[in-house]
């Protein structure tokens, strides 16, 4: 992998990640852009104990542009985009309309390929490995920012999810706090550790799932399963067999095997609802241990956390979506119409031949 860092016309950082070591990235952003001004701020909810990002400048962000005006495609002639070069392998750049900025964190866009009509599942294993290396590198770099406590790499795919740009891409959020979902996991870790005299809850969950009927696929270094209490109609958790706290700690064997496993999962997701169905909308979310202090979680250290990816869709059956209505949105109590055991069975049925 070759990494080349440059700047866009408005001062934002852009980084090329190339498969070839002899790639030259010296194209200049020719757009007449002014410096990006954001109004992002984080407000603490004293009743719930969580945080909300207020970012009114995002109202003006690009919204479903025509394919020939996609800002994530390479620059071509007089059609100027966010990527100055005429081609690329993987690109990461600071979001022009960030939810978090400055002392409130940072938001980045990750373009998986220059092919506008592709999807992550269409990448080669070599390309998918390059994306993994980009995620890892950005996690390392962002963790050093004084305002950052947790790094979250994720992909939203599909208009039903709320994606406003059709080009295959994901995002990275660098939060100035430990996110509420991670805090819940850390509290459960602490409680289990104390109650069992030191056992790790993630290890116990993985051991239990390996002995059950919800395994979707497993390899020498990775295990994918539908969790016992799945919130979403089709939800898969992907764990490395060796517990590590973040992407940086993955060993070479796990990195080498990841593309094969992950691409297979994504392809199965597109086959869940049968031939002729539109691509399955999904969210793919990496959970990593926070880099901040963990004193409030008694007895828990970073190494207790287990890196894992959660992949899920809001489509519950052909032509029907799972909406977060009263119980989910009002009380955060999910109701799942698809039994996890049946979801796992279906995801095994649609394996590649």
User: Which residues are the active-site residues?
Assistant: 169
Nearest to 170 by CA among 91, 69, 279, 97: 91
Instruction: Please give, one letter per residue, the 3-state secondary structure of the chain.
Output: CEEEEEECCCCCEEEEEECCCCCCCCCCCCCCCCCCCCCCEEEECCCCCCEEEECHHHHHCCCCCCHHHCCCCECECCECCCECCCCCCEEEEECCCCCCCHHHCEEEEEECCCCCCCCHHHCCHHHHHHHHHHHHHHHHHHHCCCCCCEEEEEEEECHHHCCCCCCCEEEEEEECCCCHHHHHHHHHHHHHHHHCCCCCHHHHHHHHHHCCCCEEEECCCEEEECCCCCCCCEEEEEEECCCCCCHHHCCHHHHHHHHHHHHHHHHHHCCCCCCCCCCCCEEEEEECCCCCCCCCCCCCCHHHCCCEEEEEECEEECCEECCCCHHHHHHCCCCCCCCHHHHHHHHHHCCCC
In angstroms, rounded to a whole number, what is the distance separating the alpha carbons of residues 191 and 178? Answer: 18
Identify any residues that bridge with 313 across adjacent strands, giving them in sequence order.
234
In angstroms, rounded to a whole number, what is the distance separating the alpha carbons of residues 32 and 25? Answer: 20
Instruction: Please give, one letter per residue, the 3-state secondary structure of 182-225.
Output: HHHHHHHHHHHHHHCCCCCHHHHHHHHHHCCCCEEEECCCEEEE
Identify any residues that bridge with 175 across adjacent strands, giving them in sequence order.
150
């Amino acid at each position: 992998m070759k990494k080349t860092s440059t700047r866009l016309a408005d001062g934002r950082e852009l980084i090329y990640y190339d498969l070839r070591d002899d790639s030259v990235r010296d194209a200049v952003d020719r757009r007449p852009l002014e410096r990006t001004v954001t109004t992002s701020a984080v407000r603490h909810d004293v009743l719930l104990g969580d945080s909300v990002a207020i970012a009114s400048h995002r109202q003006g962000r690009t919204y479903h542009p025509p394919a020939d005006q996609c800002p994530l495609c390479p620059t071509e002639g007089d059609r100027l985009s966010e990527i100055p070069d005429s081609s690329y392998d993987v690109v990461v750049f600071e979001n022009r309309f960030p939810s978090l900025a400055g002392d409130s964190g940072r938001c980045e866009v990750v373009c998986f390929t220059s092919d506008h009509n592709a999807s992550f599942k269409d990448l080669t294993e070599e390309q998918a490995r390059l994306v993994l290396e980009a995620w890892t590198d950005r996690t390392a770099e962002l963790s050093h920012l004084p305002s950052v406590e947790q790094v979250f790499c994720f992909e939203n795919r599909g208009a039903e999810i709320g994606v406003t740009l059709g080009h295959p891409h994901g995002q990275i959020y660098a939060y100035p706090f430990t996110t509420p979902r991670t805090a819940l996991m850390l509290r459960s870790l602490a409680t289990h550790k104390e109650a069992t005299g030191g056992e790790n809850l993630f290890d116990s969950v993985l051991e239990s799932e390996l002995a059950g009927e919800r395994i979707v696929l497993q390899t020498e270094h990775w295990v994918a399963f539908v969790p016992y209490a799945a919130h979403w109609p089709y939800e898969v958790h992907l764990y490395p067999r060796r517990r590590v706290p973040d992407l940086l700690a993955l060993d070479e064997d796990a990195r080498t095997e990841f593309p094969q496993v992950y691409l297979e999962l994504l392809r199965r997701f597109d086959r869940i609802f049968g031939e002729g169905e539109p691509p399955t909308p999904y969210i793919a979310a990496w959970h990593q241990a926070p880099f901040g202090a963990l004193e409030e979680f008694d007895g828990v250290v970073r190494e207790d956390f287990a890196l894992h990816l959660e992949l899920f869709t809001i489509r519950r059956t052909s032509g029907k979506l799972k909406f977060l209505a009263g119980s989910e949105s009002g009380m955060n109590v999910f109701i799942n119409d698809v039994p996890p055991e049946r979801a796992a069975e279906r995801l095994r049925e649609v394996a590649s031949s």
